[in-house]
Structure 1
Amino acid sequence: MSLAVIALILFVSIFLLVLYGYPVAFTLGGLSLLYAFCFLDINVLTLLPNRVMGVMDNAVLLAVPLFVFMGIMLEKSGLAERMLNSMASLFGSVRGGMAVSVVVVGALLAASTGIVGATVITMGLISLPPMLRRGYPPALATGVIAASGTLGQIIPPSVVLVLLGSVLQVSVGGLFRAALYPSLLLVGAYIVYILVLGVLQPSKFPPADKELIWNRALMVSVLQSLFLPLLLIVAVLGSILAGVASPTEAAGVGAAGAVLLTWMQGRLSWLVTREVCRDTTHLTSMVFMILLGATTFSLVFRELGGDRFLVSLIERSDLPEYQFLALVMVVVFVAGFFIDFIEIVFIIVPVVTPVFVAYGTDLIWLGILLGINLQTSFLSPPFGFALFYLKGVAPPEVTTGHLYRGIVPFLIIQVLLLIVVVFFPHWLGIV
């Protein structure tokens, strides 16, 4: 049996063990080391410390804990609740106005935090009960909240894009710039779907506020609730897009700004700070343990010749670039039913990247496609994490069936956006 075939068996073995429920980080690193001991010269592992130090010295990855800190701190600030109340008042008597408000606030939180779990839980707690009280069907309400809460996967600054930039070895700032128009198009598509459905099925979309009174007090309330998060977005994302700051530097500004905003809301305390630091350490440690395991897997897979074998296999099969891209997108989409986006980024993406490099594929474009596709991993039944998060904070009358039915239209919208990005990237300023 050739080493290249053994490399593919290693990949399949890791994928199956992860599906079975074994810890991702230890499965990636442990099984890779086991295969290295059995099939490679032991001296190959002397390269591993340099690889690990290369990861730890990567300044771009410092943005991960800073963005995580920013997101969790903003969750504690209470800004989301103020924004939702103001936006619901602003849309007034529009059919589906409350649902549109949830999408807009979800997009603003995504651009401010990029932390999907925190956004879904926050939006579920503050918006699901009032939506149900106003008469929204449970499936529709949960679908809107889950879809809006996962916008942090693709709207920059996004932890997913930071990790993809590291794996694909492309500019994170370039990924942020390229993701801007597709993410705005996705938000717009959600809003158009809600408004059109509100016209076609008005009984399912009660007005946000039947007696909206436009006055100075309302406008001041809206501006106050939107000004601070928009200021933070401009400070973080604007500095990156303008080339003033690197993603890591902008993440530091965002983390400091999140602390300041929480203090201005009167929510900053020693207890809150300790909880935020603890949660940040937990999430960051998980990401970096997986990253170190993925580094070990990447080294062993390449030393076994797995990447060269895949490239030669594709070349011999005469598979066109777009057919291979379609195959990868389907694999990522299906994998999202069962495993988290972090595992997909560190298991599947490094394996297929050399093939795309051989094709001459624009890796920024590929990163955006993967980012949009990975967003489905949080939404896709039966194991979408956003659905689990939302079910955990939903009232007892909201069933899992409601969650599954409600998310289907938004999954269809995402697939349509993916098709647009595949065939019309120039329209969206990606390439």
Structure 2
Amino acid sequence: MTEVLLTHLDLLMFVVAIAALLRGYPVAFTLAGIGLVFALLGAWFEIGYFATGDLGFLKPFYSRIFGIMDETNEVLVAVPLFIFMGVMLERSQIAGDLLETMGRLFGQLPGGLGFSVTFVGMLLAASTGIVGATVVTMGMISLPSMLKHGYSRSLACGSIAASGTLGQIIPPSIVLVILGDAISNEYIEARRNAGDWAPDPVSVGDIFAGAMVPGLMLVGLYFLYQAAVAILSPASAPPMRLEETGRASAGQIVRVLVPPIALIVAVLGSILAGIATPTEAAAVGAVGAILLAGARFREGGAWPQYAAFAGIAGALLLSNSFDLRVTREVIEPADRIAIWAAGACCALIALGIGSSLLAALRRKTAETGRPVLTDVMQSTTRVTCMVFVILIGAQLFNLTFRGLGGEETVQEILDALPGGAWGALAAVMLVIFILGFFLDFLEIVFVVVPIMAPALFSYSNPDGSVFFDPVWVAVLIAVNLQTSFLTPPFGFALFYLRGVAPPEVRTLDIYRGVAPFVLLQLVMLGVVAAFPALATWLPSLVFE
């Protein structure tokens, strides 16, 4: 028995990690601790790359951490910026206004409230990308209204929980940023090990573009399901009575819709147009969120914010029309004027940001009584630290797993499966789906993806090119990971909704409600698997 355990110490390490995580131990310290313990066991029994009896194989751990935290790693800089953008927009109550206005716009239709929830979930996904904030906000505002107007408890809960998870697949998404960085690193390393020393790089922008079409198609599936329920079972999704809500005016709709849509266009448009990298676009989103919050909070009118938006538009126009480099020896008169004009635009932007930050400091949150900016900064720091501490712990875990020969073991297991490369892909998707019942998406991305992805990218076509497109694989994993928020017993969206649902809503109602949406996500996973062009067409068109 001892011989068997020592022979499969790498697999035992994985099983122990899952068991410890299910017991509720802190993720980062669990991964790092198990990695260190099993590295010591490997050195003691001289297994795998620890056959020398020491921990020399762990020496690259420092360089890995330095590579993650190095200022040259611009990709992960986008993580705190996108988190800040999402938290600031959530604190500025944009979601509440969207839900109220869209409910008045679509509510008179059968199933209209469900359509409103899905539409708002899509907008919030593309502007905030934070599942917890979206589900809690929609649960507090929309769930009581849907129940009041006679909606089925399960349909109402399922619509809110599923719409809240759209932030995982619709860019800009924290999951896509982290997943894109992991896939890019593992893809390049796997291709080099396979003898391809010049693989085409994969960027987060490619992953963003690849997820756009599947994400919007998933929204369409949600709409179709809700429409089918409204037609086949009208009592489950009745229309709202107009006399209770009133009709939303065109001015209200424009005032509520234009700000988040403009921010989405600024962030995603700058990435897809090649104007900005995802990190630079995240900075644009953070600035835009500050200005939108300032426009809502400032009591003396929002003219500084409008001036800042004009400054941003002017700076972009000038940068595309003139050469604004100031380090040149010879500067043409027209360029000199443009440089001064760009400086004036930057001054307007600084004025708007400063005014917005002051307004966010003066405005107190109803829940804590602290300034909004204080809450936003604390939440951003807390979530960012959680992400990076887990990432550091996962690096030690993955390094030890490889030192024990785990990478070769995984490759052997996948090669032994029927179906060749396709059987390996199906097995990886199944493992990720099952682990989604128990583990958080961060744990899956940081632990499972680095273990499984190299095996997938090691498969080659007869001409030596990679068999699986990395963008397509990343989108498949992203759609698969989205189910982890809805699958009991540990689906985070279920916990968020359970925490704000009225007492008459049972946990069983929530589970029943999300089941059809999980099936829809699996259908979308199958569609993307069957038609890879859904994920690869837009990146090839935009970044060709």
* Same fold (TM > 0.5): yes
Q: Match for 1:255 among 277, 283, 286?
A: 286
For 1:184 and 1:427, the matched residues in 2 are separated by 11
Match of 2:436 in 1: 336
Matched-pair contact (CA < 8 Å) for 2:471–2:536: no
Match of 2:83 in 1: 68
Unaligned residue ranges in structure 1 (runs of 5+) = none
Match of 2:183 in 1: 168
Match of 2:21 in 1: 18
Q: CA deviation at 1:43?
A: 2.2
Match of 2:113 in 1: 98
For 2:534 and 2:176, the matched residues in 1 are separated by 21
Q: CA deviation at 1:252?
A: 0.9
Match of 1:375 in 2: 482
Q: TM-score scaled to structure 1, two decimals? A: 0.95
For 2:252 and 2:151, the matched residues in 1 are separated by 25
Q: Match for 2:60 among 37, 47, 61?
A: 47
Matched-pair contact (CA < 8 Å) for 2:165–2:482: yes
Match of 1:410 in 2: 517
Q: Match for 1:269 among 350, 357, 360?
A: 360
Q: CA deviation at 1:381?
A: 1.5
Match of 1:419 in 2: 526
Change (3 A) 1:300 1:428: closer
For 2:510 and 2:389, the matched residues in 1 are separated by 32
Matched-pair contact (CA < 8 Å) for 2:179–2:474: yes
Match of 1:395 in 2: 502
Matched-pair contact (CA < 8 Å) for 2:266–2:285: yes
Q: Deviations over 1:314-369 (max 9, x none)?
A: 33556412222221212111111111111111111111111101123211111101
Matched-pair contact (CA < 8 Å) for 2:9–2:404: yes
Residue identity opposite 1:344 in structure 2:
I
Change (3 A) 1:415 1:113: same
Matched-pair contact (CA < 8 Å) for 1:181–1:429: no
For 2:386 and 2:392, the matched residues in 1 are separated by 10
Q: Deviations over 1:155-212 (max 9, x none)?
A: 0001111111111113110000000000000001101111121111111112145369
Match of 2:144 in 1: 129
Q: CA deviation at 1:37?
A: 2.5
Match of 2:220 in 1: 188
Asked if 1:354 corresponds to 2:454, the answer is yes
Q: CA deviation at 1:213?
A: 11
Q: Match for 1:285 among 385, 390, 403?
A: 385
Asked if 1:222 corresponds to 2:225, the answer is no
Unaligned residue ranges in structure 2 (runs of 5+) = 43-49, 185-201, 299-358, 362-370, 460-466
For 1:320 and 1:116, the matched residues in 2 are separated by 36
For 2:534 and 2:442, the matched residues in 1 are separated by 29
Match of 2:164 in 1: 149
For 1:92 and 1:44, the matched residues in 2 are separated by 61
Q: Deviations over 1:255-302 (max 9, x none)?
A: 111111111111742211001111111111111011001111122222
Change (3 A) 1:111 1:21: same
For 2:107 and 2:21, the matched residues in 1 are separated by 47
Q: Deviations over 1:220-265 (max 9, x none)?
A: 1111100000000011111111111111111111111111111111
Secondary structure at 1:59 match in 2: coil
Matched-pair contact (CA < 8 Å) for 2:76–2:181: yes
Please identify runs of 4+ aligned residues in structure 1 that moved more than 4 A: 1-4, 211-215, 316-319, 427-431
Q: CA deviation at 1:95?
A: 0.3
Asked if 1:232 corresponds to 2:263, the answer is yes
Q: TM-score scaled to structure 2, two decimals? A: 0.76
Secondary structure at 1:422 match in 2: helix
For 2:264 and 2:62, the matched residues in 1 are separated by 38
Change (3 A) 1:296 1:97: same
Q: How many residues align?
A: 430
Q: CA deviation at 1:92?
A: 4.8
Matched-pair contact (CA < 8 Å) for 2:10–2:405: yes
Change (3 A) 1:117 1:30: same
Asked if 1:306 corresponds to 2:406, the answer is yes
Match of 2:337 in 1: none
Residue identity opposite 1:179 in structure 2:
A
Change (3 A) 1:387 1:213: closer
Residue identity opposite 1:201 in structure 2:
S
For 2:28 and 2:244, the matched residues in 1 are separated by 52
For 1:198 and 1:18, the matched residues in 2 are separated by 41
For 1:22 and 1:355, the matched residues in 2 are separated by 29
Residue identity opposite 2:292 in structure 1:
L
For 2:447 and 2:58, the matched residues in 1 are separated by 19
For 1:17 and 1:101, the matched residues in 2 are separated by 40
